[in-house]
Structure 1
Amino acid sequence: MKKLVLTALIAAVAAPAAFAAAKCEQHPKEQWIKEADFKQKLVKEGYQIKKFKVDGNCYELYGKNKDGKKVEIYYDTVSGKPVKSEIQD
């Protein structure tokens, strides 16, 4: 029983760490979509932004999508395309 609990605990701790390793292509900062413009685009698409930040070479969104589901999405800073995403029910 202890081994099962320990395994579950390790999996719970390791999962967020594994997700956080999004790899976005490195671009010169002058080529990046302006942060304010990109946030405005996301809001127009129906996202509710709880937190928005730069994570390495990615833009990172924490919030809800148009369906009200929690999301964590990493975006390329030049193309604006999602690089990695997680949607929770």
Structure 2
Amino acid sequence: MKTEIAVILGAGILILSGALPALAIEKDMCDVPMDQWQPREKLEQHLTAEGWEVQKITTDDGCYEVYATTEDGLTVEAYFNPETFDRVSPADD
């Protein structure tokens, strides 16, 4: 019985320890202080100039989350660094 509990606890620790790096990456995906963020309107202008049709811009995990149609006609949910407007990928991509 003690062996079974130890195995279950050990497996749980391994599972959780494997998830922690992913959580850390997601937390740091867009680690930018708010006073360094550019306005979302500027991001929309930038994307429109590249041929995107922006439906909505929100914030998620410290990033700008954009719902748009690209110049190629693809519907996307894309994440951008709010300081640089570089496109970033969520940890689960």
Q: Is the 8 A contact 1:26 1:57 kept in 2?
A: yes
Distance 1:65 1:35, change over 3 A: same
**Structure 1 counterpart of 2:78, which letter?**
I
Are the aligned partners of 1:22 and 1:83 in contact in 2 as well (CA < 8 Å)?
A: no
Structure-1 residue corresponding to 2:69: 64
- Aligned-residue Cα RMSD (Å) equals 1.9
Q: Following TM superposition, by how much is the alpha carbon of 1:26 offset from its aligned partner in structure 2, in angstroms?
A: 1.5
In terms of fraction of residues, the more helix-rich structure is 2
Superposed counterparts of 1:1-89, under 5 Å:
24-84=29-89
Aligned residue identity for 2:45: Q
Provide the C-alpha distance between the structure 2 equivalents of 1:74 and 1:53, rounded to a whole number of angstroms: 10
What are structure 2's unaligned runs of at least 5 residues?
1-25
Letter in 2 for 1:29: M
Tell me the matched-pair count.
65
Larger Rg: 2
Alignment partners' CA distance in 2, 1:67 and 1:25: 26
Give the TM-score normalised by structure 2: 0.61
The residue matched to 1:54 in structure 2 has which SS?
strand
